[in-house]
Structure 1
Amino acid sequence: MQKLIDYINSISPITEHTVKEVGALFTFRQIAKNDIFIDAGVIAKKIGFLEEGVIRAYFRNKRGQEYNKHFFKAPCFIGGYSSLVTGKPNQIIQQAMTDCKLREANSSKLIALYDKHQDLERMARILSERYFVQKEQREVEIVLLNASERYLIFKKEFSDLEQIIPQYHIASYLGITPTQLSRVRQKLSKE
């Protein structure tokens, strides 16, 4: 539980009283590699805090092709955020890329604490703002940067993932084919 509290406090400090109430909501859970944290088509009701491991967020088109949207590395929050906010079915699947340890809580119970604990609400706002900025930056990168530039950003943000996850997942995240990824890597190794 301490990893969760330390993470929250790194975003925006919360009081000991808030810590106790938040801590009471979260329970420990393990997810095996390849297991799904949240699937498409379900309405999200839980929020998770990833203590150890890597989770990928992806969507699947009508033909069954998968597109990686994001990789979550511990420590961070996970869950079907759009579904939690809108109450509509989730569209982005979250799958464990490694064995994972996490804490999870009922999101409505956590959100109910916002009115009672302004420090928790402030932390959630700051976290939402960070996710929004991160999402916007990612959208700009996909449109304006070439594959080599996107790959270099990936290596900077997710330096340890290249040895953990299959290359086709990295290629999908970059919006290129595995063959293109090989070419990008060869080109960059020569520079």
Structure 2
Amino acid sequence: MKDLYQFFNHFSPLSDNTWRAVQPLFEETFLKKGAFFLQEGQIATQIGFLRKGVVRAFYRTSEGIEYNKHFFVTPSFIGGYASLITHKPTTIVLQTLTDCEILTTDFRQLTALYDNHGDLERIARKLAEAYFVQKEEREIDLVLLDAEKRYEIFQNQYPGLEQMIPQYHIASYLGVSPTQLSRIRKKISGR
């Protein structure tokens, strides 16, 4: 739980009183590689704090084609945020790409603490703002940057991840084919 406490405090100081209220809400969960934290069509109720491992967020078309939207690496929160807020079925899927250790909690129980623990609400707001900025930057990169530059940004944002996950997941995330990614990698390594 120490890593969760440090993560919260990275965004804003968390009082001892708030930590005593938050800590019992989380329980340790272990998911094997390939397991699902959230499946398409589910209504999300849980969020998780990723302590160890890698999780991908992706969409699947009606033809079964998958598009990777995001990779979650340690430490980060995971969950179907839109579904958590709207209480509607999610279109996003969260799947582990490695064995994962996750601290999970019921989203409603956690957010119920906001009224009496303003420091927790402030942390949640700052976290949501950080994810919003990250999402907006990614959308801009996909539209304005070429694949080679997007790959370089991926390498900077996720150091070491290439050695942990299949290349086709990276290609999907970058919006290119595995063959195109191979050419980009070859070009960059030849410099």
For the aligned pair, the TM-score class normalised by the smaller chain equals: over 0.9
Distance, in Å, in 2 between the alignment partners of 1:39 and 1:115 is 31
Q: Which residue type is aligned with residue 78 of structure 2?
A: I
Q: CA deviation at 1:9?
A: 0.6
Q: What residue in structure 1 maps to residue 184 of structure 2?
A: 184
Q: What residue in structure 1 maps to residue 60 of structure 2?
A: 60
Distance, in Å, in 1 between the alignment partners of 2:104 and 2:10 is 19
Q: CA deviation at 1:88?
A: 0.7
Encode CA deviations 1:136-190: one digit per residue, 9 max, x unaligned.
0000000000000000000001111100000000000000000000110111112
Q: What residue in structure 2 maps to residue 90 of structure 1?
A: 90
> 1:24-63 maps to which residues of 2 (within 5 A)?
24-63=24-63
Q: Which residue type is aligned with residue 100 of structure 1?
A: C
Distance, in Å, in 1 between the alignment partners of 2:95 and 2:25 is 23
Distance, in Å, in 2 between the alignment partners of 1:140 and 1:134 is 10
Distance, in Å, in 2 between the alignment partners of 1:73 and 1:184 is 24
Give the root-mean-square deviation of aligned CA atoms.
Answer: 0.5
Gaps (5+ residues) in structure 2? none
Task: Give secondary structure in 2 for the equivalent of 1:67.
Answer: strand
Distance, in Å, in 1 between the alignment partners of 2:50 and 2:190 is 37
Q: What residue in structure 1 maps to residue 146 of structure 2?
A: 146
Distance, in Å, in 2 between the alignment partners of 1:115 and 1:104 is 21
* TM-score of the superposed pair, with normalisation by structure 1: 0.99
Distance, in Å, in 2 between the alignment partners of 1:13 and 1:92 is 31
Distance, in Å, in 2 between the alignment partners of 1:77 and 1:13 is 18
Q: CA deviation at 1:11?
A: 1.0
Identity of aligned residues (%): 52
Q: What residue in structure 2 maps to residue 132 of structure 1?
A: 132
Q: CA deviation at 1:91?
A: 1.0
Q: CA deviation at 1:20?
A: 0.8
Distance, in Å, in 1 between the alignment partners of 2:16 and 2:91 is 36
* TM-score of the superposed pair, with normalisation by structure 2: 0.99
Q: What residue in structure 2 maps to residue 11 of structure 1?
A: 11
Q: CA deviation at 1:121?
A: 0.2
Encode CA deviations 1:70-101: one digit per residue, 9 max, x unaligned.
00001110011010011111111000000000
> 1:116-127 maps to which residues of 2 (within 5 A)?
116-127=116-127
Encode CA deviations 1:4-54: one digit per residue, 9 max, x unaligned.
111011111110010011001000100000000011101000110000000
Distance, in Å, in 1 between the alignment partners of 2:90 and 2:20 is 30
Q: Which residue type is aligned with residue 34 of structure 1?
A: G
Distance, in Å, in 2 between the alignment partners of 1:90 and 1:117 is 29
Gaps (5+ residues) in structure 1? none
Q: What residue in structure 1 maps to residue 157 of structure 2?
A: 157
Task: Give secondary structure in 1 for the equivalent of 2:115.
Answer: helix
Distance, in Å, in 1 between the alignment partners of 2:186 and 2:138 is 24
Task: Give secondary structure in 2 for the equivalent of 1:141.
Answer: helix
Aligned residues: 191
Q: What residue in structure 1 maps to residue 73 of structure 2?
A: 73
